[in-house]
Structure 1
Amino acid sequence: MPVIQVSLIRGYSSKVKQRLCRRLTDTTRGVLGAVPEAITVFLHEVETDGYARGGHTRAPAAASEEAPEDRVRAYLAAMEARDLEAAEHHLSDGFVMAFPGSPEMTSLSDLIAWSSERYRFVRKTFQAFETCDKEDHSVVICHGHLSGAWPDGTTFDSIRFIDRFEIRNNRLTRQDVWNDLALTRP
């Protein structure tokens, strides 16, 4: 029955603290094999004037209200709506993406040009989003099914896909895509 105690400088939102509790629970379950119901997390908060490092009081570090999977969902929604300006807002400088059969691309306009020969449009139905936090970035994997239309207007649906994203500093840095489109293309 693991008990985790964390001391935080007061100032983080309830949303951020709850996300921290969930991630600590998930990590503990993965490492120790404990069931979530047996894992207890306590967050202890101290006032900024009740904490010092190096003899100086500190303010809490900035934490994003947005979870990495929220950033991915917003990006994918903007892409589906073909709102490239909104989609660009989610990308870091140096963003790289790779799709089945594509070279690595670094711009959304390259992606649109490359995909225009493959399909008119595509929509995603998500089955799950999974997030893994690494030392300097987070990885979000989503999977589900694609539907859309081929270049000739014929529709398709129920095609499997997996997207893997890397997120650093709350921006998408990489997207790798795997899907079965080529297996079903007329």
Structure 2
Amino acid sequence: MGFLGGFFVGVFAQPLAKLFGWFLVLLLIGTVVDVAILGNKTPPSRESGAQIVRAVDGDTLVVRQSGEESRVRVLGIDTPEVHGRRECGGEAASRAAKRWVQENQLVTLRSDPAAPDRDRYGRLLRYVEPPKFELQPGEDLSGQMVSRGHARVAAYGQDLEKLRELRRFERAAKRAGRGLWACP
């Protein structure tokens, strides 16, 4: 390197090193902020419209989306059985679900970030909600079934978004002896 090359390297090396150092500090701060703030957020729930084909029982529905039929397991609840081993309250739970979600009704299916997309039987795991303009607290199918005593809360170890609300509804239904809580 000639005299001029050495001169320029000497003159610019120190400021470039400082600039590079500040760049690394800012990069580190940005990474920490991203992980600390954004990294803890769960992915948003997904919503999609569907048309009710039928209620199979109190916690399973058949819906139509884009011309395809799918089975949906209603998130956060478990109702007494009506198929195979019949359980007390099962028939009432099925009737209640059929009243609440009627054939051809349009509903919103909403996933929960804490739950898998499908259960071990291949059913979609979703909350089932009426059109948004009709929605009140507890007026999704899970809330209705639990608050009326037609279902137990069933989170299967997942920290579901609606878990606290559903447990509150369940305590009230138990205290009042509604639905399956009146069974022997």
With normalisation by structure 2, the TM-score equals: 0.24
Q: Which has the higher contact order (CA 8 A, sep 6+)?
A: 2
> Which protein is bigger by CA-based radius of gyration?
2
Structure with a larger share of its residues in helix: 2
Structure with a larger share of its residues in strand: 1
